Amino acid sequence: MATGDSKELRKMSDKLSTFLESGIYRFENPNAVFIDPVRALNRSYTRFRVSPSAYYPRFFESKQESRVSSSTSRKRKRKEKKPQALNDREKVAERRHQEARPFLLKAHECLLRATDLLEVMSNLRRDFDSSRECGDLSLPDVPQQSFIELGRVWQTPLYEITLNFHQHEKLNADGGSLIMQNSEESVLPVFNNLVLNETGNDVEAEFLNSPYVMPRESCFYMSDIGQIHNLIPAEPGRGFNLIVVDPPWENGSAHQKSRYPTLPNRYFLSLPIKQLSHTDGALVALWVTNREKLRGFVEKELFPTWGVRYVATFYWLKVKADGSMINDLDLFHHRPYECLMLGYCHREPVDSECLPKFKPVQDGQIIVSIPGDYSRKPPVGGLLLEYVPGFKPTRCLELFAREMNSGWTSWGNEPLRFQELRYFIKDR
């Protein structure tokens, strides 16, 4: 018995050690994982670290605050009207929810049993070393650049970003002696232009007197949706194997509209997913809300127009620092989860026997994490790589990106949104 207990403890210790390094905790249920986005994102950086206190502005309230919140919630419930009969679309949404519910509950049970992880979760918002913060996070309402507005004015083509490449050592061409690379500055158009950091180190950048950080081996293209065709590679073999899409879906919520502008669904039909895909094909991952009208649009119009064959749905279950769900699982219009719909896209029709072999995607997988800022999704690229067709290294693209990752191309009208220096801690 003692031997069995010690093995179990070692297993838990190994899991936690792996989590502290990678940001991914794998439960005994193979279809569920917990992600700490901060640790996962930090794998992209060499000289900087994402600040946990800046990433997690919500869901870390004290027990007293939690009791107040629960009390307010109960008061709201008393004011709610009696539930009305569901219409046909709502019935379909409820059916989908009931199908996903067992997977979500099982994943949540795994989380609550992982006591070692729960202990760490309560401290995830604590900075690694608060003395190294780059930004003045004590100023909660410091105005940020509105890239969306700047991209609409007549001066747009004139705006430039300055990349400051620091001095670093590099192996000589003979593979032996070290040579010192001098610091250099590169000034580039920030809009409608591919801005690259091809070095193996983070690059500090400056735009309109505000400092930014670009992770190693990354690039961004900042434009509106009308310019996305500039990303289509001249050679099909330079296309992307993994494409993650997080559209600003149209939503009736005034609160959401105040956060960022949305687009009508028909705009997304024009995204050239097939032309952006690699000749070996691409795994396409699309973030969607639980609105049935939207799910129907994706299945019946969007994926067929893109040339994407649907294969599975993953679920992002949102929890608080204490492990509880952010909302009741069965709260109809405020489910505590979102969906990631997956499918494969090929530039040309392919015989099924000629398709490259890769791990099949299992439906109903659960990604558990504590949400960051409003509508900021957890970095799921690392979890999807094993399902990606084609040769390695994988060419990765995020559409409607608001942050950057090493090895990825980030496109959207604000890919630098969370790259400002205030969101980072500098390594000594």
At CA 203, angle to CA 200 and CA 205, rounded to 5?
160
Amino acid making up residue 338: E
Asked if 202 and 413 count as a contact pair (C-beta separation under 8 A), the reply is no
Residues 187 and 207 sit within 8 Å (Cβ to Cβ): no
Helix residue ranges per DSSP H, 339-393: 381-384
Name the E strands within 138-280.
160-165, 168-171, 178-181, 184-189, 194-197, 203-207, 210-214, 218-222, 242-245
Residue among 161, 160, 169 at smallest CA distance from 201: 169
CA distance 120 to 371: 16
**In degrees rounded to 5, what are phi and psi of residue 407?**
85, 5
- Of 196, 202, 135, the closest CA to residue 161 belongs to 196
**Helix or strand or coil: residue 380?**
coil
Radius of gyration for the alpha carbons in the chain, expressed in angstroms and rounded: 23
pLDDT in tens, the chain (428 residues): 455 555 555 556 788 889 999 999 999 888 999 999 999 999 999 999 999 999 998 877 655 555 544 444 444 554 555 667 888 888 898 999 999 999 999 999 999 999 999 999 999 988 655 445 565 444 345 567 788 888 888 888 999 999 998 765 555 555 555 555 567 889 999 999 999 999 999 999 999 999 999 999 999 999 999 999 999 998 878 899 999 999 999 876 545 555 668 889 999 999 999 999 999 899 999 999 989 999 999 999 999 999 999 999 999 999 999 999 999 999 888 899 999 999 999 877 665 555 556 678 999 999 999 999 888 999 999 999 999 987 788 899 999 999 999 999 999 999 999 999 999 998 76
Sign of CA dihedral 161, 219, 286, 57: negative
- Judged on CB neighbours under 10 Å (0-12, 13-18, 19+), 186 is middle
How long a stretch of residues is the chain? 428
The conformation of residue 333, written as its DSSP 8-state character, comes to: T
Locate 68 and state its tokens. 């107040």
Q: Distance between CA 221 and CA 416 in Å, rounded?
A: 10
pTM value is 0.88
The span from the CA of 306 to the CA of 126, in Å, is 42
CB 212 within 8 A of CB 422: no
φ, ψ of residue 294 in degrees (nearest 5): -70, -45
Q: For residue 240, what are the β-bridge partners?
A: 277
For residue 324, the 8-state DSSP code is -
CB 210 within 8 A of CB 419: no
